[in-house]
Structure 1
Amino acid sequence: MKFSGTESYVASADLSLAVNAAITLERPLLVKGEPGTGKTELARQVADALGMEMIEWNIKSTTRAAQGLYEYDAVSRLRDSQLGDERVHDVANYIRKGKLWQAFEAGKKVVLLIDEIDKADIEFPNDLLQELDKMEFHVYETGETIRAKQRPVVIITSNNEKELPDAFLRRCFFHYISFPDEETLRQIVEVHHPGIKDSLLTTALTQFYEIRDTGGLKKKPSTSEVLDWLKLLLAEDLDAEDLKRGGANALPKLHGALLKNEQDVHLFERLAFMARRER
């Protein structure tokens, strides 16, 4: 099993190497990078390229590690006992399988995505150490041990919102998705917007990288945002000439696709004001 990207996903050589190394080592692949650089999409594309089902576990601030294994619905069992339901005699009827359990019991090898692990409590990664290492866990209510039939390909994403524990990091193969250079971004754009005029693309990407390099920007626009921006430019049938900006017109056309908070919009408005004063 080798991953080298897909028709709809441009994977750099080092990213492909990281995916294949993690598969060979049978270790979770921990992927970090700016939001919008394709971390979550990577898992989908790996599953597609390798012909595997993908099981997705989206992590929230309230998510507990145990939820990935299973949850025991004691409330439903109590209610059923009060109603005299025969199901109450088998505790297994009240065990809800989590995403790890689903991945472990799958008949074929699957891709398990644990998405945005850094959103959860700091103890969350440590609580999964044994399960991801040994690929098994114990169900206390039924006394059974669940072992992985096929070791899943585990891909874990993080936006680097908080540090992950060292013990967890030691068990992962790590890769940081760097923001693509202009040539790679051109390849990505060609996948999503084939045949786009070179003059429009060159002007748009020049402006895009200028925006990203602007000092004081609170949130730099990402790959997904430049793709949305280009989609809008094409829908409005704009050309390179329409994108020209002057000192009094510092904001890019359709800037709402690129600038996502008022602080950054005000930054460009201030730049325009300063440019007018210097005239």
Structure 2
Amino acid sequence: MTSTAPRFHGTDSYLSSEGLQAAVNCALTLQRPLLVRGEPGTGKTLLAEAVAQSLGLRLLTWHVKSTTRAQDGLYVYDTVQRLYDSRFGEGDVRDIRHYIRLGPLGEAFASKERVVLLLDEVDKADVEFPNDLLHELDRMRFRITETNEDVAATHRPVVIITSNNEKELPDAFLRRCVFHFIDFPDQELMRRIVEVHHPGLDASLTEQSLKVFYELRNFTRLRKRPSTSELVDWIAVLKANGVTQVRLEEQLPFLGALLKREQDLMAVAEAFGRGRRTKA
């Protein structure tokens, strides 16, 4: 039997491994949330944009904070605006529906078309948040108490959840997700990523930049290792300033684009610059 389920193969601007593509397609087939983990800079957040672009769907984004509740994702009742309108005579305060604001999850349910919903950094929220979230996703409907209206989803959204592993997620939550850990790109994949962002870059500068980048990542004294996005930014600055050669043994130009902690800048200067302050 030929499957009619949509397939994800990456995009021209988002290069993905076969394992990541398989995880996305598994989640699409099972219609379950995809939970992705990986160190910063591995493309967890950008994955949702790539999936939406690849499938031709609209992307909704929900940035999770420490105070976020599942209810916030469904809707909020703007009592402050209603009070303001009642005092100053603006708006129809008799119609509560004017003051109901759908959250990203509520908007995904109310959408007439399937959407991609990104829940970014789910591990920042309270420990009960993940289970509350999946409860709402299982039901695929919710009631707006203030208006006594039911909102039922016509299409199950494609849900992508990112985690930085700041705290353990509940087992019940993990059981109901498809999971993938995004490995940091190896040098060959990173070379392709650089080519996407800097097409036509001089091959010599590409190889030198990659060599320095991975040497820095392997430098054990760093508290924060540089990420993919920081490499891309660094190369952009090198190009803009006409730099054609970089070596870790010498003072590195614009190192502040790669390293973001003073201790790391000092450690690199001491280890590779014979104690000289590295140019930022």
Match of 1:129 among 134, 146, 153: 134
The residue that corresponds to 2:176 in the other structure is 171
* C-alpha spacing 1:272/1:184, structure 2 compared with 1 (3 Å): closer
Task: Return the offset for 1:175.
Answer: 0.8
Task: Return the offset for 1:86.
Answer: 8.2
The residue that corresponds to 2:3 in the other structure is none
1:37-186 to structure 2, matched below 5 A, reads 37-81=42-86, 87-186=92-191
* C-alpha spacing 1:205/1:136, structure 2 compared with 1 (3 Å): same
TM-score (norm 1): 0.90
Task: Return the offset for 1:64.
Answer: 2.3
TM-score (norm 2): 0.90
Task: Return the offset for 1:275.
Answer: 7.9
Task: Return the offset for 1:81.
Answer: 5.0
Instruction: Give the distance between the partners of 2:274 and 2:195, measured in 1 at CA.
Output: 37
Q: Percent identity, aligned pairs only?
A: 55
Instruction: Give the distance between the partners of 1:46 and 1:156, measured in 2 at CA.
Output: 13
Match of 2:202 among 187, 193, 197: 197
The residue that corresponds to 1:213 in the other structure is 218
Task: Return the offset for 1:225.
Answer: 0.6
| Count of residues in correspondence between the two structures | 271
Instruction: Give the distance between the partners of 2:195 and 2:167, measured in 1 at CA.
Output: 34
**45-54 or 70-79, which moves further after superposition?**
70-79
Match of 2:41 among 32, 36, 47: 36
Instruction: Give the distance between the partners of 1:273 and 1:178, measured in 2 at CA.
Output: 31
What stretches of structure 1 of length at least 5 have no aligned partner?
none
Task: Return the offset for 1:79.
Answer: 4.8
Instruction: Give the distance between the partners of 1:176 and 1:6, measured in 2 at CA.
Output: 19
Instruction: Give the distance between the partners of 1:140 and 1:167, measured in 2 at CA.
Output: 28
* C-alpha spacing 1:267/1:78, structure 2 compared with 1 (3 Å): same
Q: Alignment partner of 2:92: what SS?
A: helix
Instruction: Give the distance between the partners of 1:181 and 1:76, measured in 2 at CA.
Output: 51
Give deviations 1:80-107, integer Å, cap 9, x for gaps. 5566778333332221111111111111
> Are 1:126 and 1:168, in contact at CA under 8 Å, matched by a contact in 2?
yes
* C-alpha spacing 1:204/1:138, structure 2 compared with 1 (3 Å): same
> Are 1:133 and 1:171, in contact at CA under 8 Å, matched by a contact in 2?
no
Q: Which amino acid in structure 2 is aligned with residue 142 of structure 1?
A: T
The residue that corresponds to 1:243 in the other structure is 246
More helix by share: 1
Confirm or deny that 1:19 pairs with 2:24.
yes
Q: Which amino acid in structure 2 is aligned with residue 252 of structure 1?
A: L
The residue that corresponds to 2:266 in the other structure is 266
Instruction: Give the distance between the partners of 1:102 and 1:143, measured in 2 at CA.
Output: 17
Q: Alignment partner of 2:142: what SS?
A: strand
Q: Alignment partner of 2:37: what SS?
A: strand
What stretches of structure 2 of length at least 5 have no aligned partner?
1-5
Q: Which amino acid in structure 2 is aligned with residue 66 of structure 1?
A: Q
Give deviations 1:115-171, integer Å, cap 9, x for gaps. 111222222212212111221222222222221111110111112222222221111
Instruction: Give the distance between the partners of 2:89 and 2:273, measured in 1 at CA.
Output: 75
